[in-house]
Amino acid sequence: MIFDLIKNRRSVFPVQYNDRPIAKETIHQILEAANWAPTHKKTEPWRFKVFMGKKKEELGEFLSEKYQQVDPKPKQIKIKKLQDNPTRSAAVIAICMQRDPNESLPEWEELAATAMAVQNMWLCCTELGIGCYWSSPGLIKYMDEFFDLQEGEKCLGFLYMGNYNGEVETSTRTPIEEKVQWLD
């Protein structure tokens, strides 16, 4: 049931991934689910760049080197994490948003549509038993140095994906009643 799937969706981090690959066909299926996200004025602003194989290593190298260039006091643990997260993952998907060139709607609506596309992917990963995690490091503003972005396109982060062993933590939420005001 969709409610159970929503409640069971969790962040599963690259350090938890095993070395089992994810088939390209499965990633394509997950991306197809993203393509059915709601989109005001049908701008379909989501764009994705899928990194597999050697390209994951290159991404890790770029992120760790760029971090060392821009941070006056880089931390070794963060250098290692930026380097290792892509290679620990079966795939990394750069989450990008293509701004409507006519700006026919507010940018926040295109950001929201892209986030809904990512939520569709996350729910599919949950259903398929694939772990994933959306990371938005400050370094995303430099991604045009690593891959081509179209005019008006920006990188919003990375969806790290991988198979994992074991259980993921359960979570709780404060009751919805504390967040809703009924106006009759």
SS3 99: coil
Confidence at residue 66, expressed as pLDDT on a 0 to 100 scale? 98
| Residue 28 assigned ligand-binding role | no
Segments of the chain scoring below 70 in pLDDT: none
Residue 9 assigned as binding residue:
yes
Residue 105 lies in a domain: yes
Nearest by Cα to 113 from 43, 23, 28, 9 = 43
In a domain, 109, yes or no: yes
Answer yes or no: is 132 within a domain: yes
- The answer to whether residue 183 is domain-embedded is no
Alpha-helix runs per DSSP H in the chain? 2-8, 24-34, 54-70, 76-88, 107-128
Both tokens assigned to 67: 């971090």
What is the domain extent for residue 48? 2-178
pLDDT, position 1 = 86
Q: Confirm or deny that 171 is annotated as ligand binding.
A: no
CATH assignment at residue 22: 3.40.109.10
Pick the closest to residue 158 from 32, 65, 62, 23 (CA basis): 62
Over pLDDT 70: what percentage of the chain? 100
Number of domains in the chain: 1
CA distance 45 to 171: 31
Is 36 labelled as part of a ligand binding site?
no
Q: pLDDT digit string (tens) for 33-47?
A: 999 999 999 999 999
- The answer to whether position 184 is within a domain reads no
